[in-house]
Amino acid sequence: MSTINVASANLDPEAARFVHSTVATYLSGAGWNFVSTPDLADILLVDLDTPAGASAWARLDGSRRPVRVAVTADHGRLASALAVGKPLRYSTLLSTLRRAANGEPGAGEVAGGASRFDPGKHLLGVIQGLVAGGRSAVVDHPDHAAVAIDSARRRWAVAGDRPLTPDIFRLPAGAFEMQMGPLPAALDYRPLEELLYRAAWHASNGRLQAGTDLSTPLRLRRWPDFTRVPYRPIHLRMAAYLQGRSATPLTIAERTGAAVSDVHDLLNACRAAGLITEARSESRPPPEQPSAASREGLLARIRMRLLGGAGKPRAGGDR
């Protein structure tokens, strides 16, 4: 994934530190980097309220790189698609940087574009295609485990002796072959949602899924079963935050202290497994919460895993 370099021009030292901290905290895991030299920038934040900043802005007229983002206290200028007001705030700064990287009007092109996760380019897309068509098959790769997909019963299993490792989920979709027809019966089948979750979690690499609107609040339909799927401790905090409320990806990051890349991984995985939905209307039904008994059981299993070393690789090779 190409690195997206962010720099500032003529910002006061405190504002420059704020931009540096925001990029390092929320975006570095997704391939973003703060640089001190504007000439190396793909996105440049310019203080328009200083003569030097206005001059620097004018010099870049007609240039496609770097993409300019105005920083100003003049709210009349905020009609621009790429402007942030003073004082700087995490949510608006992150949102504007993302918009700049996504090529909104006036943004030009950022190095490599703002990379979004496309499930269709990975094993996840192969599995989703089988499920959408109601077909079952063994999905095979010469160097990795074969995976049996039973779309009718919404279940999956490893077919063969090779272990399932995270690398398989990052391979291009065209690297797999499918053997259609009846599936072996004597396999250790598990719920398909578990495989869909893993496939998205391992392949997204901190990139938000293509087509996801950063301004649309999302809510959990139910908790992921963290005893069966890969996770990091911060994902428990994010899932707890989303219980009983809806929030945008950037709000989740701000309120939980999670890196944006971690938020994207969780949301992509939950979306693939059907655990999350958009909350466009206040008339939406309340989120499905586990009963007291099932919640206690789930939390007890999570505590057992944490005591045994949370975040350690699972037997299936998750990490």
Distance between CA atoms of residues 207 and 261, nearest Å: 6
Name residue 6's beta-bridge partners. 34, 43
Distance between CA atoms of residues 151 and 50, nearest Å: 61
Tell me, what's the pLDDT at 62?
Answer: 57
**How long, in residues, is the chain?**
319
Distance between CA atoms of residues 243 and 277, nearest Å: 13
Distance between CA atoms of residues 23 and 259, nearest Å: 10
Tell me, what's the pLDDT at 50?
Answer: 82
Distance between CA atoms of residues 48 and 58, nearest Å: 10
Strands (E), the chain: 4-9, 32-34, 43-47, 67-72, 83-85, 137-141, 144-150, 155-159, 177-180, 190-191, 218-220, 276-278
Amino acid at site 163 = P
CA nearest to 5, candidates 63, 65, 60: 65
Per-residue pLDDT tens digits of the chain, which is 319 residues long: 467 889 998 898 888 888 888 888 878 777 888 888 888 888 999 988 887 887 787 777 656 678 888 888 876 666 555 888 888 888 888 888 888 887 654 433 333 334 578 899 999 999 999 999 999 999 999 999 999 999 999 999 999 889 999 999 999 999 999 999 889 888 999 999 999 999 999 998 877 888 887 778 999 998 888 888 888 888 999 999 998 889 988 888 888 888 777 888 999 999 999 999 887 644 444 455 555 555 566 667 676 666 665 444 443 445 4
Amino acid at site 168 = I
Q: Are 194 and 228 in contact (CB under 8 A)?
A: yes
Distance between CA atoms of residues 227 and 30, nearest Å: 26
Amino acid at site 93 = L
Distance between CA atoms of residues 261 and 266, nearest Å: 9
Tell me, what's the pLDDT at 124?
Answer: 95
Q: Which domains does the chain have, with CATH numbers?
A: 4-101 (3.40.50.2300), 119-192 (no CATH), 198-307 (1.10.10)
- Torsion on CA atoms 21, 22, 26, 28, rounded to nearest 10: -60
| H helices present in 205-287, as ranges | 233-242, 249-256, 260-272
Amino acid at site 21 = S
Name residue 156's beta-bridge partners. 149, 190
pTM over 0.75: no
Q: Are 213 and 176 in contact (CB under 8 A)?
A: no
Q: Are strands 155-159 and 190-191 parallel, antiparallel or unpaired?
A: antiparallel
- Torsion on CA atoms 25, 31, 33, 38, rounded to nearest 10: -140
